[in-house]
């Protein structure tokens, strides 16, 4: 089976984000505020909806981390080609990094 490309993973992420945006702008559910019972005796639907939304947001972020947030490969930060970056835009930072080697941390 062919591995799932990052483009497909990113497309899944976009779908998740759009879904969350839709759930936030769910005006068609606002009428439920009048009818649904209180959660735990004190949370009306207008409030408890966003308590549940926060739990869902954490779950969706967990999913995004799993499907589209790869760890940087070993050694990827080593061997920076400094000649490529030797412009005055980032001169100060590069000098600092070259002096201390901290950039490679």
Partner 1 sequence: MNIPLGWGVVGAYVLLLVGIGGYVATVTRKTREDYFMAGRGLGSLAIFMALFASNITAFTIIGHAGLSYQVGYGAYGYVIGWSIFITPFTYYLIGYRSWLLGKKYGYATQPQVFGGILNSRAVALTFLALLLYYTLPYLVVSIIGGALAFSTVTGGAVPYGVACAFIVGISLMYTVPSGLRGTVWTDVFQGFLFIIVVLLLLFTLGNALGGFSAITGRIFEYDPTLLQRGADPTLTPINWFSFSFVNSLAVIVFPQMFVRIMATRRSVDMKRVSVYYPLALALVFGVSTLLGVWGAVTIPGLSGKEADNIVPLLISEYLTPIWMALGLVVILAVIKSSVDSQLLAVSHMVTDDFLSRYFKITSERAVLLGRLLLLVFSAVAFYVAIIQPATILEIAAFAFSGFSIMLPVMIAALYWNRTNPYGVCSALFIPAVLLHLWYFGGLPEWSTFGFMPVVPSFFLAAFLVVVVSLLTPEPSPEQKAKTFGFFRKVFGR
Q: Summarize as ranges the residues that interact with partner 1 (CB under 8 A).
A: 5-7, 17, 20-21, 24-25, 27, 30, 33-34, 38, 40-47, 49-51, 53-55, 57-58, 60-62, 64-65, 68-73, 76-77, 80, 84-85, 87-97, 99-100, 102-103, 105
Angle between helices 45-68 and 6-24 (to 10 degrees): 170
Tokens of 57: 């947001």
Output 15 or 55, the one with its CB closest to partner 1.
55
Q: How far is the CB of 97 from partner 1 (least distance, A)?
A: 4
Provide Rg for the chain, Cα atoms.
Answer: 23
Return d(Cα 74, Cα 61) in angstroms, integer.
Answer: 24
Q: How far is the CB of 66 from partner 1 (least distance, A)?
A: 9
Q: How far is the CB of 22 from partner 1 (least distance, A)?
A: 11
Neighbouring residues of 47: CB distance < 8 A, sequence distance ≥ 6: 39
Q: How far is the CB of 15 from partner 1 (least distance, A)?
A: 13
Hunting for tokens 């759009």 — which residue is that? 18
């Amino acid at each position: 089976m062919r591995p799932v490309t990052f483009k497909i993973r990113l497309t899944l992420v976009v779908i998740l984000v759009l879904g969350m945006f839709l759930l936030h702008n769910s005006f068609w559910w606002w009428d439920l505020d009048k009818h649904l019972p209180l959660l735990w005796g004190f949370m009306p639907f207008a409030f408890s909806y966003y308590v549940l939304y926060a739990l869902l947001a954490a779950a969706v972020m967990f999913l995004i981390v799993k499907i589209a947030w790869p760890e940087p490969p070993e050694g990827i930060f080593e061997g920076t080609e400094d000649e490529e970056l030797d412009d005055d835009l980032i001169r100060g930072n590069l000098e600092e990094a070259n002096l201390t080697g901290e950039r490679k941390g």
